Structure 1
């Protein structure tokens, strides 16, 4: 099962955070948002079906594929039975096992700083981001 979100980059994308990566429905990004790689997302966790949320909670492996202008990167993490998955604007991938309403997956193999720098460069130019969640 997969869920696709479209977002866009912003001139303030730095993608330097060491433990998290985020996309948001917010339409702005301050220079301190080091984990945010995409803004103005067309969907959020509130758009997930209950079936999809249950699959995420029970998943031993969640894959997120990010793509910008044909350049792809893949992040692999895990679900957890306690995932809340109800934040109206933010979706966070975490290397840690911390869970809050914004958490999409935990124990991820990558954070913002690990993303392909060609993707980051294009996101700084405001290019479209395709964020595909596969479970």
Structure 2
């Protein structure tokens, strides 16, 4: 298990139908409708090497849980042999099979639009602290 801290932002919309993202960037425009948190502790490149190896196993299951304001929301996907996990700023989980340096998991059972609206409202507060918990099963 690995946890990454992040914070909310007034422009968190969480409406994207196929991805969820957190970023190390501090600013967020309204077009970034998959982003649920900014100011993250790390991007994909900051993950432990042992976890990266497990994520590159196509048979691995990956659970990503967003924790914020006493609430939690989890999505489950799988690893992929082609994961680079090299992006310094972003972490993206995807419902599709698309792989790029920002991709953490593919084939996920939910996206940004599945995050409960009560949690999204909490994440719209810049003082809200959140955590992305990553578990490779």
Structure 1 and Structure 2 fold alike (TM over 0.5): yes
The corresponding residue for 1:114 is 114
CA positional deviation for 1:100:
0.4
The corresponding residue for 1:67 is 67
The corresponding residue for 2:134 is 133
Instruction: Report the 3-state secondary structure (helix = DSSP H, G, I; strand = E; otherwise coil) of the residue aligned with 1:16.
Output: coil
| Whole-angstrom CA distance in 1 between matches of 2:64 and 2:24 | 17
The corresponding residue for 1:6 is 5
Unaligned runs of at least 5 residues, structure 1: none
Cα deviation digits, residues 54-80 of structure 1 (max 9, x gap):
111115310011111110111100101
Any residues of structure 2 matched to 1:48-59 within 5 Å, and which? 48-58=47-57, 59=59
CA positional deviation for 1:49:
2.2
| Whole-angstrom CA distance in 1 between matches of 2:122 and 2:60 | 31
CA positional deviation for 1:12:
0.3
Instruction: Report if aligned partners of 2:16, 2:33 keep a CA contact under 8 Å in 1.
Output: yes
Query: What RMSD over aligned residues (CA atoms) do the two structures have, in Å?
Result: 0.9
Instruction: Report the 3-state secondary structure (helix = DSSP H, G, I; strand = E; otherwise coil) of the residue aligned with 2:109.
Output: coil
| Whole-angstrom CA distance in 2 between matches of 1:48 and 1:114 | 25
CA positional deviation for 1:125:
1.3
CA positional deviation for 1:46:
1.8
